[in-house]
Amino acid sequence: MSYTTGGMSTCEAWGWRMGRKGKRKGYFIQKSEEWLESLAYRSLSLAARCLLDEFQIIYRPNRNGQLSISTRRAADRLKVLLPTVMKAFKQMELHGFIELTEHQQWLNGKAREYRLTIETYNDCEPTDNWKKWSADDSVSQ
């Protein structure tokens, strides 16, 4: 079967759109093979892996340490129940991918704030706390 595009590119004919010069609009998420292949990452639940993606979506270099996703919002975004997302937060913290920087303030309606240890923080290199995690640590989970 042969398709004609009427002078349009194949992408235009199929309705695929890109930004200027073929670049996607918005930010991108960078993933390192080093931590993707680590035991710390591979031992995370699927919900925790997805939650890490959500943190990377809101990450900006000047905001690391002030990253905030409420448990309700995370549960809604991941399409899971609150207990599942609460376990995912705990796993990510225990495995060294996030670190709590500010506790919640219920009276002010403010959720906890975290920093990603896989990203720069205060103009310093990532601390990569996930490298310190071992399978023996999972006994306490």
At residue 61, the pLDDT reads 86
Give the pLDDT score at 58.
92
**62 within 8 A of 76, measured Cβ to Cβ:** no
User: Is 39 part of a structural domain of the chain?
Assistant: yes
DSSP structure string for 18-71: --GGGPPSS------HHHHTSHHHHTS-HHHHHHHHHHHHH--TTTTT-B---H
> Does 121 map to a domain?
yes
- Assigned domain for 10 exists: no
Residue 98 maps to which CATH number? 1.10.10.10
Let me know if residue 14 belongs to a domain: no
d(CA 94, CA 21): 42
Residues 6+ apart with CB under 8 A from 76: none
pLDDT at 132: 95
Q: Is 123 left (phi over 0), alpha (psi -120 to 50) or beta?
A: left
Domain count, the chain: 1
11 falls within a domain? no
Residue 85 belongs to some domain of the structure: yes
Residue 90 belongs to a domain: yes
Residue 22 lies in a domain: no
Residues of the chain short of pLDDT 70, as ranges, are 1-22, 106, 137-141
Give me the domain span that covers residue 42.
32-140
pTM of the predicted model as reported, rounded to 2 decimal places: 0.78
For residues 117 and 102, what is the distance between their CA atoms, to the nearest angstrom? 15
